[in-house]
């Protein structure tokens, strides 16, 4: 009987210890969950955001995309040779779809690329659209952008309809993913499920260091 009593006390202490450990690690898990980065999903409405251009003027997504049949959010860089390969192509694309009232918004999320550099780069390559600075990578995190160039296409209701590459080659493309998606969206047609997302190829976005943030794709 005495041995049973000792066993019962040992079991009770052991169980209490297990419960305490589980509670501690459970609390830590909850803490990390609170830090998980919010990300927009395909076919979901993109939330509004505000960023500044090279002149320090603030611009909001909803204002820029107001009454537009489509909006293209472009993650760009000044020091990425692959992004530069697309510069001339982007200028032509913007010119073509300007006649169809499509809005293009450039975003620079690279921590090492400064406002002055972005302004000079935009002028050099003839970008006639706003390139905004995402200083803490919050917008890149929200879209899940990983590379430059990488694009996200919104429809008139600001629903994310396409994400990924502009086309299938920085040098000699044979498939034009963004152009095809744009043509469907501005005419009110659905993008086939298989064509809603492609893999962007380019330089990785150099992010600022953040602690206790879950960046799991």
Percent of the chain residues topping a pLDDT of 90: 78
Q: Is 37 left (phi over 0), alpha (psi -120 to 50) or beta?
A: beta
Q: Where are the domains of the chain?
A: 1-36, 50-204
Q: Which residue has the tokens 């603030």?
A: 58
Residue 76 has pLDDT above 50, yes or no: yes
Residue 92 has pLDDT above 70, yes or no: yes
Classify strands 50-52 and 58-60 as parallel, antiparallel or unpaired. Answer: antiparallel
Distances (CA, A) of 23 to 9, 14, 20, 32: 21, 14, 5, 14
Residue 12 has pLDDT above 50, yes or no: no
Residue 19 has pLDDT above 60, yes or no: no
- Reported CATH class of domain 50-204: alpha beta
Closest-CA residue to 59 (of 113, 117, 125, 139): 139
pTM of the model: 0.81
Distance of CA 120 to the CA centre of its chain: 24
Percent of the chain residues topping a pLDDT of 70: 80
């Amino acid at each position: 009987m005495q041995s049973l009593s000792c066993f019962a006390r040992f079991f009770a202490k052991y169980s209490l210890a297990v419960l305490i450990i589980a509670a501690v690690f459970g609390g830590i898990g909850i803490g990390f969950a609170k830090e998980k980065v919010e990300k927009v999903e395909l076919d979901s409405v993109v939330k509004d955001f505000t960023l500044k251009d090279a002149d320090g003027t603030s611009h909001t997504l909803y204002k820029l995309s107001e009454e537009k049949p489509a909006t293209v959010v472009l993650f760009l860089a000044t020091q990425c040779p692959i992004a530069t390969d697309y510069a001339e192509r982007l200028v032509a694309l913007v010119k073509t779809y300007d006649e169809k009232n499509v809005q293009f918004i450039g975003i620079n999320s690279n921590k090492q690329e400064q406002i002055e550099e972005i302004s000079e780069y935009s002028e050099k390559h003839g970008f006639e659209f706003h390139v905004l600075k995402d200083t803490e990578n919050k917008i890149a995190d929200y879209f899940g952008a990983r590379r430059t160039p990488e694009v996200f296409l919104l429809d008139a209701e600001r629903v994310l309809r396409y994400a990924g590459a502009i086309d299938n080659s920085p040098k000699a493309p044979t498939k034009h993913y963004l152009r095809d998606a744009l043509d469907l969206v501005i005419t009110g047609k659905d993008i086939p499920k298989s064509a809603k997302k492609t893999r962007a190829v380019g330089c990785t976005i150099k992010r600022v260091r953040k602690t206790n943030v879950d960046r799991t794709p």
